C-alpha cells in the first residue's frame, strides 16, 4: 500500500512539473445563459433598423379606385383563372406563375371576381396607363353628371302642393352645384292663370333662388303669364359672403341696387 502511494505521489509530482496547470470548469459556468436565449428569441422584425431597411411601397391615392383594387400580391388564392382577349376564361393557373408572366412595370393582375364555391378567383391583366386613363374619364363623366343642366317646369296655375315640391327641387339642384333652368309656362287645355297666381309663382321662384344662394347667369327670357325661362346657378362662396356683409350694414348707407326682376306684367 505504501508502495502504491509513493508511485502516485511521484506521478503527480512529475505531472505538475512537466504539464501546464488545467483550469477545472465548474458546472455553474457550463449552464446556458438565459439572457442569451431571451435575446435570440426576441423578434428582430420589430427593431427600428429593420423597419427602416424594408422597401416602402409607393403610396396610392386613397381617393383613387386603384387603392381599392385586389391586385398582384394581394391575391391570396393559390390558383386564379384569367380572362383572355376573347373574354372567356382560361384554365386555372397558379397565382405566382400568372404574376411571373406579366410585365410588372406596366401591368397589373387584378381580381375581378372573388373565389366562390371552390372555384378560383377570376383575374384580369390590365395596363396601368390605360386603367388610369379610364379612371380619369369616369371621374370626368361623374363630374359632368353632377354639374349637368337640370330643368324644373312649373305651370302658372299650379297648386300649392306641387309648387312646394318643385321649389324644393330647385333648392336641391342649386345647392348641389347644378345649373338649373326654371321654366314657367301655360299648358295647353289648362285654365288661364289669374294675375295673382302669376305674381305668387314668380315671387316664390325668385325668393327660392335667392334663399338657395343662386344667381341668374342669363337674363330672364319670356313674358310672365305666358312663358318664362330662368337660368340660374349657385353663387361663388366669396360673393355670398360679401352679399351677407352688405345686408348687415346700417340702413343709413346707400342701399344696394335691386336685381332686375320681371315686375311689369302680372
Q: Are residues 158 and 95 in the same domain?
A: no
Residues 6+ apart with CB under 8 A from 37: none
pLDDT for the residue numbered 59: 52
Closest residue by Cα to residue 211 from 162, 256, 247: 247
Q: Domain check: are 129 and 160 in the same one?
A: no
Instruction: Return the pLDDT at 149.
Output: 84
Residue 60 lies in a domain: no
Q: Specify the pLDDT at position 71.
A: 87
In percent, the amount of the chain with pLDDT more than 90 equals 33
Rounded alpha-carbon distances, angstroms, from residue 137 to 71, 129, 183, 256: 21, 12, 32, 44
Are both 115 and 159 inside the same structural domain?
A: no
Q: Which of 116, 142, 168 is the last residue of a domain?
A: 142
Strand order in the sheet with 93-94: 93-94, 79-82, 122-127, 107-113
Rounded to 5 degrees, φ, ψ at 212 are: -85, 10
Q: Could you tell me if 159 and 232 lie in one domain?
A: yes
Closest CA to 71 of 94, 95, 97, 101: 95
CB 57 within 8 A of CB 104: no
Residues 6+ positions from 94 with CB-CB distance below 8 Å: 78, 79, 80
Residue 209 placed within a domain: yes
pLDDT band for position 245 (50/70/90)?
A: low
pLDDT(211) > 60: yes
Q: In terms of residue numbers, what domain contains 112?
A: 72-142
Name the pTM for this structure.
0.40
Q: Tens of pLDDT along 42-62?
A: 443 444 454 455 445 455 554
> Is position 58 within any domain?
no
- Higher pLDDT: 145 or 183? It is 183
**Residues 165 and 129 placed together within one structural domain of the fold:** no
CATH code, domain with 181: 3.30.110.10
More confident residue, 76 or 259: 76
Q: Which of 149, 102, 105 is nearest to 123 (CA)?
A: 102
**What average pLDDT score do residues 3-10 get?**
56
Instruction: Give the ranges where 118-159 is alpha helix by DSSP (H).
Output: 128-146
Q: Are residues 166 and 188 in the same domain?
A: yes
199: in domain: yes
231 and 178 in a common domain:
yes
Give the pLDDT score at 9: 65
Residue 246's pLDDT band, with cuts at 50, 70 and 90, is low
The arithmetic mean of pLDDT across residues 65-79, rounded, is: 84
Same domain for 228 and 207: yes
Q: Are residues 216 and 159 both part of a single domain?
A: yes
pLDDT at 177: 84
Does 158 share its domain with 133? Answer: no
Residue ending a domain, choose from 142, 157, 180: 142
Mark which of 127, 142, 157 sits at the end of a domain: 142
Question: What is the rounded CA–CA span in Å between residue 228 and residue 156?
Answer: 10
SS3 at position 232:
strand
Instruction: Count other C-beta atoms under 10 Å from residue 193's C-beta.
Output: 20
Please write the tens of the pLDDT for every residue from 217-238.
989 999 888 899 999 999 887 6
In this structure, the answer to whether residues 108 and 175 fall within a common structural domain is no
Q: Residue 264 falls within a domain, yes or no?
A: no
The pLDDT of residue 25:
46
Give the chain's domain count: 2
Mean pLDDT, to the nearest integer, of 183-198? 85
The number of angstroms, rounded, from the C-alpha of 236 to the middle of its chain's C-alpha atoms is: 25
Q: Is 242 inside a domain boundary? A: no
257 occurs within a structural domain: no
**24 within domain boundaries:** no
CA 44 to each of CA 14, 32, 53: distance values in angstroms, whole numbers, following the listed order = 54, 21, 12
Q: Identify which of 229, 227, 231 has the alpha carbon closest to the alpha carbon of residue 185.
A: 227
Residues 6+ apart with CB under 8 A from 93: 79, 80, 81, 82
CATH code of residue 103? 3.10.20.80
Q: Does residue 195 sit in the same domain as residue 132?
A: no
Q: Give residue 3's pLDDT.
A: 52
CA neighbor of 230 nearest in space, from 247, 239, 241, 218: 218
C-alpha 166/C-alpha 149 separation (Å) is 16
Amino acid at each position: 500500500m505504501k508502495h502504491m502511494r509513493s508511485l502516485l505521489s511521484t506521478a503527480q509530482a512529475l505531472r505538475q512539473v512537466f504539464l501546464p496547470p488545467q483550469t477545472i470548469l465548474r458546472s455553474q459556468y457550463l449552464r446556458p445563459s438565459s439572457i442569451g436565449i431571451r435575446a435570440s428569441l426576441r423578434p428582430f422584425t420589430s427593431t427600428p433598423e429593420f423597419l427602416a431597411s424594408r422597401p416602402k411601397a409607393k403610396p396610392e391615392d386613397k381617393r383613387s379606385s386603384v387603392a381599392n383594387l385586389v391586385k398582384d400580391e394581394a391575391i391570396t388564392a393559390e390558383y386564379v383563372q384569367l380572362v383572355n382577349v376573347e373574354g372567356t376564361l382560361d384554365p386555372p393557373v397558379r397565382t405566382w406563375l400568372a404574376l411571373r408572366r406579366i410585365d410588372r412595370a406596366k401591368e397589373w393582375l387584378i381580381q375581378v371576381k372573388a373565389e366562390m364555391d371552390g372555384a378560383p378567383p377570376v383575374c384580369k391583366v390590365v395596363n396601368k396607363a390605360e386603367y388610369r386613363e379610364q379612371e380619369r374619364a369616369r371621374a370626368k363623366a361623374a363630374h359632368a353628371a353632377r354639374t349637368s343642366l337640370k330643368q324644373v317646369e312649373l305651370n302658372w296655375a299650379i297648386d300649392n302642393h306641387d309648387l312646394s315640391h318643385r321649389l324644393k327641387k330647385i333648392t336641391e339642384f342649386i345647392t348641389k352645384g347644378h345649373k338649373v333652368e326654371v321654366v314657367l309656362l301655360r299648358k295647353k287645355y289648362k285654365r288661364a292663370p289669374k294675375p295673382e297666381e302669376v305674381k305668387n309663382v314668380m315671387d316664390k321662384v325668385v325668393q327660392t333662388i335667392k334663399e338657395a344662394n343662386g344667381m341668374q347667369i342669363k337674363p330672364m327670357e319670356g313674358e310672365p303669364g305666358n312663358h318664362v325661362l330662368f337660368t340660374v346657378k349657385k353663387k361663388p362662396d366669396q360673393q355670398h359672403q360679401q352679399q351677407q356683409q352688405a345686408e348687415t350694414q346700417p340702413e343709413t348707407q346707400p342701399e344696394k341696387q335691386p336685381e332686375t326682376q320681371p315686375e311689369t306684367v302680372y
